[in-house]
Structure 1
Amino acid sequence: MNCILLPAANFSNQSTHINAKAQIEHVNQVLGAKVGDTLKIGQLEGNLGSAIIADITPEHILLIDVNLTTAPPPKLNLTVVLALPRPKVLRRLIMDMTALGVRDIILINSYRTQKSYWQSPMLSRLEEFVLEGLQQGVDTVAPRISLQKRFKPFVEDELAQLITNRAIVAHPYGELLFSKYMQQQHLQKQLENSESSHSSILPSMVFIGAEGGWIDYEIELLTKQGCQAVHIGERILRTEAAVNAILGQWLI
């Protein structure tokens, strides 16, 4: 944890308290903090700042002199549509995308998504994984997460309304390299005499498949809705690696 995030209900006047077991263990065992030390904290959906430890017990840490004056970092203008992955990697992916600042996450069904994934207890723990990602990325505002269990109706009936500034689908067999796609967008902006900064030419939506990627039928449906299939090189990456490699473009 690079900061400790607490719900608004934990705050009162200039004090707050930590009562979550994992956070108490982190303060005691990882930080080795003691009474009088300053902690970096934040209020969920609020500001970031600091507070001083006034008391520590096994079940409760009291913080005083709470000072929350720093706004959270801005979200990326990005929606990631992720084919629901294997449950054991879902936690890491949600944490990583949250820490990177993704604004919206849509978990969607795909041909290569096993039906059993939708019954995984991991789906009931998304808020827990988001909190871990926020504390890693020193942010307080959670991404909006939605579940779409029907691929075709979502793509045909809802997708067009969600795309605000182009969309790409990561596909290892796509004809266009992502870097070439970015160059094309830059040139197009120049021809239009429009702003051509790195952020302005990035798409607002990215589709990323689970292990095994998308099938041709899914790629066809997405391209009909205006999504551009791109690849990021000759290597075929695991979903976790692909997510971080692609989303790194938004942090440049």
Structure 2
Amino acid sequence: MIGVFFNRSVSPVNLILLYTSDFKGPHHVRISGRRFQHMRSVHKAQVGERFRVGVLNGLIGLGEVTVLTDQYLELRVQLNQAPPKPLPLRLIMALPRPKMLKRTLETVATLGVKELWLINSYRVDKSYWSTPILHADTLREHLLLGLEQAGDTRLPNVYLRKRFKPFVEDELPAIARNTRALVAHPYDATPCPAATAEPTTLAIGPEGGFIAYEVNKLREAGLEPIHLGPRILRVETAVPVLLSRLFPLAL
């Protein structure tokens, strides 16, 4: 019976992420909470309707609603596809202001980034490090929203570094080793290189950019400054533009 219903149409919605705790059997899951409310109120889920589903950090497939109540719904699922390939990227970003951080987390997860380092910089306000968005549960929530949008299941790893110099001197050289190592900087830089699938380390500064001292330290760690042209972009715009320029669309 499992293979039969997947020949029928599927609701064109974002991926429904499943967790191992949802499974009541090999092909049977129960969903409650935020995901249930979203499927019920936004997607108007009905018994017999099919949705794209995927297990967090696992396979993707399809699920058919078999039970619908006021508190939960149940799906019969078949998981047989690998998630999209991750970008071969280690992304290093000066911590954005909180409002922008939410969007940035969702954007990088949507674009396939799996390793994100949030670091300090001279132009990062100290208050940014106190935002509740950096709490583990909230970080995870925004990353999951990005995965759902992209139809991906692999959760990115996020690392926080509150001191710029120790990170750049003690950790960054090893992170950048054997990769195409770049720092986005609008001045005294070469044009953005052509798209390639090679492993890459990319550093992006705060609003206003890295100061000269920081750029020099990043150079010493092996990163080459690059630019996107004469226009100065906001961080939330620069991230997708840079990634679309640096990596093939078919990756």
After TM superposition, is the score higher than 0.5?
yes
What are the ranges of 5 or more consecutive residues in structure 1 without an aligned counterpart? 183-196
The match for 1:71 among 68, 79, 82 is: 82
Distance between the aligned counterparts of 1:198 and 1:121, measured in 2?
36
The match for 1:129 among 139, 142, 150 is: 142
**How many correspondences in the alignment?**
232
2:196 corresponds to which letter in structure 1?
Answer: H
In the superposition, the TM-score normalised over structure 2's length comes to 0.89
Aligned 8 A contact 2:66 2:75 in 1: yes
| 1:154 matched to 2:150 | no
Aligned 8 A contact 1:166 1:226 in 2: no
| 1:209 matched to 2:205 | yes
CA displacement at 1:12 relative to structure 2: 2.4
1:123 corresponds to which letter in structure 2?
Answer: L
Distance between the aligned counterparts of 1:120 and 1:112, measured in 2?
16
Distance between the aligned counterparts of 1:92 and 1:168, measured in 2?
23
Point out the structure with the larger helix share.
Answer: 1
Aligned 8 A contact 1:79 1:103 in 2: yes
Structure 1 runs (4+) deviating above 4 angstroms are: none
1:228 corresponds to which letter in structure 2?
Answer: E
State the partner residue of 1:189.
Answer: none
Q: 2:159 is paired with a residue of what secondary structure? A: strand
Give me the identity figure in percent.
Answer: 41
State the partner residue of 2:5.
Answer: none
Distance between the aligned counterparts of 2:74 and 2:221, measured in 1?
53
State the partner residue of 2:9.
Answer: none
State the partner residue of 2:120.
Answer: 109
In the superposition, the TM-score normalised over structure 1's length comes to 0.88
The match for 1:43 among 45, 48, 55 is: 55
Aligned 8 A contact 2:196 2:248 in 1: no
Q: Please, which moves more after superposition, 80-89 or 10-19? A: 10-19
After superposition, give the CA deviation of every residue in 1:48-73 in whole Å (9 maximum; x if it has no partner).
Answer: 01111112223211112x10001111
CA-atom RMSD in angstroms = 1.4
CA displacement at 1:240 relative to structure 2: 0.3
What are the ranges of 5 or more consecutive residues in structure 2 without an aligned counterpart? 1-12
| 1:19 matched to 2:32 | yes
Q: Please, which moves more after superposition, 217-226 or 165-174? A: 165-174
State the partner residue of 2:10.
Answer: none
Distance between the aligned counterparts of 1:145 and 1:95, measured in 2?
12
After superposition, give the CA deviation of every residue in 1:120-171 in whole Å (9 maximum; x if it has no partner).
Answer: 0111110000100110111111111100111101111111111131211001
CA displacement at 1:25 relative to structure 2: 2.8
Superposition pairs of residues 84-123 of structure 1, within 5 angstroms: 84-123=95-134
State the partner residue of 2:240.
Answer: 244
